[in-house]
Amino acid sequence: MEYRITKVQNSAADCFVCGVENESGLKARFYELEDGSLGALVTFQPIHQSYPGRVHGGAITALLDEAIGRAVQIPEPDSWGVTGDLEIKFKQPVPYGVPLRLHCRLIQNKRLLFSGEGRLYLPDGTLAAVATARYRKLALSQIAEFSPDGRDWSPHPREDDPETLDLPPWA
């Protein structure tokens, strides 16, 4: 299903998952979609390897954790979450060096807590991993020591940011 991108989410310069300047990072790109869900694009590199030719499960877990946690910022742009628990199911081996797509949505959003689901897809649309997680909402000042403006937290737009994402429909 083709989803129109409504916004490029912010990235931090040095974050392992989204950091545009972190040489060891995933450099994932996160997008808010027209239906209120979150999409992402990522291409893992050999530095993220576990077994030869395969991405380490910890890198996949970090990606899904961050993506689900970001989904709350679509309805609540100033909300930040800290992971309470995360369950992940690995369905297929994940190769590096190929573009992968991720789709996340909120399951529940309350005053202090939220939960969500994230799915990582291989280039052919095969489900590679699925995660569910719960988060506690906290003020940014309780989570991090940075200003949410400028280098530490901005969209970092790129010329190759797409206008739409093609993602399998939620089953």
Domain definitions of the chain by residue range: 2-148
Note the pTM of the prediction, 2 decimals: 0.93
Give CA 163 to chain center in angstroms: 17
| Of the candidates 16, 20, 23, 22, the residue with the CA atom closest to the CA atom of residue 8 | 20
Task: Name the residue type at position 91.
Answer: K
What six digits make up the tokens of 79? Answer: 């909300």
Q: What is the CATH number of domain 2-148?
A: 3.10.129.10
In order along its 171 residues, the chain shows pLDDT tens digits of: 999 999 999 888 888 999 888 999 999 999 999 999 999 999 999 999 999 999 999 999 999 999 999 999 999 988 889 999 999 999 999 999 999 999 999 999 999 999 999 999 999 999 999 999 999 998 777 777 766 555 667 777 788 899 999 999 887
* Cα–Cα distance, 18 to 23 (Å, whole number): 11
For residue 20, with 0-12 CB atoms within 10 Å meaning exposed, 13-18 middle and 19 or more buried, which class applies? middle
